[in-house]
């Protein structure tokens, strides 16, 4: 396809901090696994691009909706020294946007639709994993694509979806056609843009956390989009009680709307005492740590595990944090408890399962609280640096 398109582009200066050494997959001046060590003076520009052409294994997607993620905010946000907040894989300039949905407009001859096991015809509603795992490194070959050693990430080091078209490998594309059963066209694409963050939550609590048995009690700490999605998934999985711990009322309200039964505000009440009270002294089978504040939340989690009467509690570490977790091994030993790390959203049948959950009634679209145009994306990303009153801001293509 000929023509031009505009893309919301993150631009920054390559100025490594003293002592920084290029890693094995880093590319001088272009890409690093340690973003906050290298990139300085981030700015958002709307740049013009040629419409890309798909190769034999690839598809060309017309973007219909794309959510703004906290990592978009942290890539565009700098500390006083000018370095970006986002610590991970980044290659700039890059078009942002990785929580998206769209339709197939062109496909290479070897690009197949996994849902039908046939070549794409064009017109299919789709979303994509954000993680472009390679499929041939040892973690990929062992079945752990979330730990790929040759990872590319859409909207981080390859061009993302805050634009009109993007080309992606067919292997990470998932059909959203099942959503046509219960969504109008516009809502389908909003729902589709929420598949990716919902898969992060699913991977954490079901795949890594091992899931729950119907009747289990769960506690989600942190009511960002991933924490809220976990409330919806665990309620659907049969939790008898979903407790959201969150300091911001609007986020707690969203969690309550999508699946949580009770809200604990740890600024206003003692987290552990309130959880023990709500569970009548039982505590919880599963905790999800989605705040990124380990030094703040683990003393409360530890107290619930220690004083609650539930054995085998699991704590799933979902948010990223540099600080260490203050937890006594004794508590894990005596209470048969475990702490499990989770990252990513790929593999294990997660994407198609989340899409089927949505197609059968797990409605995440209330999370999209604000709709914006392409031109409005930069100002909204900047506003999110200080104002987190919107749950999810979604770019809707014209
Ligand atoms: Zn994201
Ligand atoms: Zn790999």
Give tens-digit pLDDT for 6-24: 999 999 999 999 989 998 8
Ligand 2 is an ion; its neighbours by CB within 5 Å are 133-134, 137, 140, 148, 150
> Is residue 321 scored above 90 in pLDDT?
no
> Is residue 1 scored above 80 in pLDDT?
no
- How many angstroms is it from 150 CA to the middle of ligand 2? 5
0.85 cut: is pTM over it?
A: yes
The angle that helices 350-359 and 195-202 make with each other, rounded to 10 degrees, is 120
How far is 64 from 397, CA to CA, in rounded Å? 5
Catalytic annotation, pick one of 24, 36, 71, 240? 71
Query: And the tokens for 335?
Result: 């209470």
Q: Which ligand has the shortest distance to the CA of 72?
A: 1
Confidence of residue 102 (pLDDT cuts 50, 70, 90): very high
| Percentage of residues in the chain having pLDDT higher than 70 | 100
* Annotated catalytic residue 175: no
Catalytic annotation, pick one of 36, 74, 101, 245? 74
- What pLDDT is attached to residue 322? 80
> Is residue 125 scored above 80 in pLDDT?
yes
- What pLDDT is attached to residue 52? 95
Q: Which ligand has the shortest distance to the CA of 149?
A: 2
Residue 373 three-state SS: coil
Confidence of residue 263 (pLDDT cuts 50, 70, 90): very high
The domains of the chain, with CATH numbers, are 4-194+364-396 (3.90.180.10), 199-341 (3.40.50.720)
How far is 125 from 121, CA to CA, in rounded Å? 11
- How many angstroms is it from 329 CA to the middle of ligand 1? 32
* Annotated catalytic residue 71: yes
- How many angstroms is it from 197 CA to the middle of ligand 1? 6
How far is 111 from 89, CA to CA, in rounded Å? 27
Closest CA to 245 of 215, 210, 272: 272
- What pLDDT is attached to residue 351? 98
């Amino acid at each position: 396809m000929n023509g031009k398109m505009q893309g919301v582009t993150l631009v920054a200066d390559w100025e490594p901090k003293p002592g920084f050494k290029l890693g094995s997959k880093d590319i001088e001046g272009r890409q690093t696994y340690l973003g906050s060590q290298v990139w300085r003076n981030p700015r958002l520009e709307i740049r013009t691009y040629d419409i890309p052409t798909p190769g034999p294994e690839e598809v060309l997607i017309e973007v219909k909706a794309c959510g703004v993620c906290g990592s978009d905010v942290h890539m565009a946000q700098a500390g006083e020294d000018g370095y970006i907040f986002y610590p991970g894989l980044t290659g700039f300039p890059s078009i942002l946007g990785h929580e998206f949905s769209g339709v197939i407009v062109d496909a290479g001859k070897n690009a197949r639709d996994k849902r039908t096991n046939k070549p794409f015809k064009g017109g299919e509603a789709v979303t994509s994993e954000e993680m472009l795992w390679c499929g041939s490194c040892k973690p990929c070959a062992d079945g752990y694509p979330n730990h790929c050693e040759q990872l590319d990430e859409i909207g981080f080091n390859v061009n993302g979806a805050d634009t009109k078209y993007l080309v992606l490998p067919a292997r990470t594309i998932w059909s959203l056609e099942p959503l046509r059963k219960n969504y109008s066209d516009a809502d389908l694409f909003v729902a589709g843009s929420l598949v990716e963050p919902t898969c992060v939550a699913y991977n954490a609590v079901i795949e890594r956390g091992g899931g729950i048995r119907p009747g289990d009690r769960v506690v989600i700490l942190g009511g960002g989009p991933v924490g809220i999605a976990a409330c919806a998934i665990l309620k659907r999985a049969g939790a008898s009680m979903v407790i959201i711990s969150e300091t911001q009322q609007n986020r707690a309200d969203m969690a309550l709307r999508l699946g949580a039964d009770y809200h604990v505000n740890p600024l206003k009440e003692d987290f552990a005492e309130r959880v023990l009270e709500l569970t009548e002294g039982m505590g919880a089978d599963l905790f999800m740590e989605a705040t990124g504040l380990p030094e703040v939340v683990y003393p409360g989690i530890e107290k619930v595990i220690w004083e609650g009467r539930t054995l085998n509690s699991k704590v799933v570490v979902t948010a990223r944090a540099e600080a260490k977790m203050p937890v006594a091994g004794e508590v894990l030993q005596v209470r048969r408890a475990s702490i499990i790390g989770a990252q990513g959203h790929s593999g294990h049948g997660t994407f198609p399962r989340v899409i089927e959950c949505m197609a059968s009634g797990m409605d995440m679209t209330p999370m999209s609280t604000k709709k914006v145009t392409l031109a409005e994306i930069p100002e909204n990303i900047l506003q999110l640096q200080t104002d987190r009153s919107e749950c999810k801001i979604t770019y809707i293509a014209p």
